[in-house]
Amino acid sequence: MRELAPAKINLNLLIGPLRDDGRHELASVMQSITICDRLEMTDGERDEVICPDVEAPNLAATAIAAFRESTGWDGPPQRIEIEKRIPVAAGMAGGSADAAAALRLLARRSGLGSPELLHDLATALGSDVAAQIRPGRSLVRGGGEDVRRLGEPEPFGVLVLPSAAALSTAAVYAEADRLGLPRSAQELAAIDPLEAGAVNDLQDAARSLEPTIDAELERARAAGASDALVCGSGPTVIGLFAAYEEAAAAAAHLGGSAIAARPLIGWPSIL
CA distance 261 to 243: 10
pLDDT in tens, 31-88: 999 999 999 999 999 999 999 877 767 899 999 999 999 999 999 999 999 999 998 8
DSSP 46-103: S-EEE-TT--SPPHHHHHHHHHHHHH------EEEEEE--SPTTSSS-HHHHHHHHHH
- 182 and 52 in one domain? no
Angle at 219 between CA 216 and CA 221, to 5 degrees: 115
Domain carrying residue 17: 2-149
Is omega for the bond preceding 182 within 30 degrees of 0, making it cis? no
- 172 and 88 in one domain? no
pTM above 0.75, yes or no: yes
- 196 and 119 in one domain? no
- 172 and 129 in one domain? no
- 59 and 164 in one domain? no
Domain presence at residue 75: yes
DSSP H or E run through 230: strand 227-230
Query: Does 8 participate in catalysis according to the annotation?
Result: yes
Q: Which residues pair with 229 in a beta bridge?
A: 238
CA distance 80 to 220: 36
Question: Which alpha helices (DSSP H) does the chain contain, by range?
Answer: 59-71, 94-110, 115-125, 169-179, 185-189, 203-209, 213-222, 244-254
- Given the residues 37, 98, 128, 201, select the one marked as catalytic: 128
Domain count for the chain: 2
- 223 and 177 in one domain? yes
Tens of pLDDT, residue by residue, the chain (271 residues): 999 999 999 999 999 999 999 999 999 999 999 999 999 999 999 999 999 877 767 899 999 999 999 999 999 999 999 999 998 888 999 999 999 999 999 999 999 999 999 999 999 999 999 999 999 999 999 999 999 999 999 999 999 999 999 999 999 999 999 999 999 999 999 999 999 999 999 999 999 999 999 999 999 999 999 999 999 999 999 999 999 999 999 999 999 999 999 999 988 754 4
Task: State the CATH number of the domain containing residue 98.
Answer: 3.30.230.10
- 170 and 122 in one domain? no
Query: Does 84 participate in catalysis according to the annotation?
Result: no
Shortest CA distance to 171 belongs to which of 209, 204, 144? Answer: 209
- Given the residues 8, 37, 98, 201, select the one marked as catalytic: 8
